[in-house]
Amino acid sequence: MPEKPTTAAGYPPDQVARVKATCLYLATKLGDLMSELVVVGGLVPSLLIDQKNLPENVTAHVGTMDLDLGLAFALVGEARYQEVAERLRNAKFTPDKNDEGQLTRQRWRISDPAVTVDFLIEPQNPEAKPGSVFPLTKDWAAIIAPGLHLAFKNNRMIRLSGKTIVGENVEPGRDIRVCGAGAFVILKALAFRIRGENKDAYDLFYLLRNYGRGVADVAAELRPLLADASAIKAMEYLRGDFQDSDSTGPRRAAEFLYGRPDADTQADAVGFVRQLLDECKL
């Protein structure tokens, strides 16, 4: 699969709709299992923040190239995993392939052009390497994602409706569990430190700038999670990566938006993070 775009210009305007349509389709196919799944990753800001009623000075979130789904059932064993994999196959999902043509068990695809779904799971072994692959069945796996359990503590039910990725009408829709703003900050701060992607910095910036009535609303969801070891580490990373305007976080958020540094964006990013840390008394 090609590398993710490093700037907003690389994200087709219809891609987020296709990813949402894929999420809706999965909800109709996985049904009762959806209570054990949570949407995380780059789709979250466009679901938590109403994209149809943005203030005049706010642009829509660019969306995401793929769907990230966190799994709650880390210890249930082969039978449960096999059931999900079978439903994915019956829904015409297939394992994706990497640039060398090898199957990627942790990423499945549907449609042409493809929408891909990455599956994530909380590590049971504290020594597990973030981003490594955890086998579930012989043809299905998940990516190790520290802190994922927090998305099951802080989340919202969001209703999706309309057409699925295969063109079916689903009304009045399906309720989807979506990572909350507090858990999203933690997971994105961890992800940015691990892989340093421009998109992760942008996602953090966009959420802090536009969620609810302001940064205080993000902090209200974040504070109950702060005693968690993953949250403590994430806040340390966030403080360091957004310490000043030339830190990696602000610079890469600006580079994602404009393909170059931008002083105003970088200053805003630093200000939002400082406000969040102040609100959380960190």
- What's the pLDDT tens digit per position in 208-243? 999 999 999 999 999 999 999 999 999 999 999 999
**Cβ of 90: how many Cβ atoms within 10 Å?**
9
Q: Cis peptide leading into 113, omega within 30 of 0?
A: yes
DSSP for residue 214: S
Distance CA 86, CA 26 (A): 13
Question: Which pLDDT score, from 0 to 100, does residue 1 have?
Answer: 46
Bridge partners (DSSP) listed for residue 104: 96
What percent of the chain has a predicted confidence (pLDDT) above 90? 79
Q: Over range 192-199, report the average pLDDT.
A: 95
Q: Is the pLDDT of residue 142 over 80?
A: yes
Q: Pick left, alpha or beta for residue 152 (phi over 0 → left; psi -120 to 50 → alpha; otherwise beta).
A: alpha
pTM for the full model?
Answer: 0.94
Q: Pick left, alpha or beta for residue 92 (phi over 0 → left; psi -120 to 50 → alpha; otherwise beta).
A: left
Distance CA 105, CA 251 (A): 34
Question: Higher confidence at residue 237 or residue 13?
Answer: 237
Query: What are the tens digits of pLDDT across the range 114-136?
Result: 999 999 998 777 778 888 998 88
- Domain ranges for the chain, please list them: 8-179, 181-279
**Dihedral (CA of 13, 158, 146, 25) sign:** negative
Q: Is the pLDDT of residue 4 over 90?
A: no
Bridge partners (DSSP) listed for residue 158: 176
Distance CA 106, CA 265 (A): 35
